[in-house]
Structure 1
């Protein structure tokens, strides 16, 4: 009588253990994957935006913009001098 009870208890423990370790369903995997991709792209977008802002505010970018502005002003002055006569 003790042996069938012991076997029944072992079967219940085995069933409870296998139910506790269920693998995620396909839907849960896709949801998890989607959340991971959203997090990665959000981080990437933030890092890219920060990098562009740092470059925009860098000394090189500022000097380049100023140089182009000066060159455009010189061309405008030459055009006015040439075609105003």
Structure 2
């Protein structure tokens, strides 16, 4: 009887030891961690790129930037006309 109990205890202990030493299949390897980091970083960079492009597009097409470009164009045109009338035809 004691032999049967001893064998049962040994078998239980071995099953516990083998379960605790098995590598968990859910834990990623180092290469998988690097790959996941690379994918997450690429996603982050793509999101930042899209938001930055959107911000520059909105800024370029804003009313303020359009008025500023038109103002500079008008001033430059007037300056060219004044130089042309002052110094004559240089052609």
In 2, the alpha carbon distance for the partners of 1:13 and 1:33 equals 30
Q: Which aligned segments of 4 or more residues in structure 1 are displaced greater than 4 angstroms?
A: none
1:1-85 equivalence runs, <5 A: 1-16=7-22, 19-20=23-24, 22=27, 24-25=29-30, 27-84=31-88
Larger of the two Rg values belongs to structure:
2
TM-score normalized with structure 2 length: 0.76
In 1, the alpha carbon distance for the partners of 2:84 and 2:29 equals 73
In 1, the alpha carbon distance for the partners of 2:43 and 2:59 equals 24
More helix per residue = 1
TM-score normalized with structure 1 length: 0.81
Question: What is the RMSD of the two structures over their aligned residues, measured on CA atoms?
Answer: 1.8
Deviations 1:6-55 (A, max 9, x none): 11211222223xx1164632x33333332222111111111010001001
Please report how far the alpha carbon of residue 75 of structure 1 lies from its aligned counterpart in structure 2 after TM superposition: 0.6
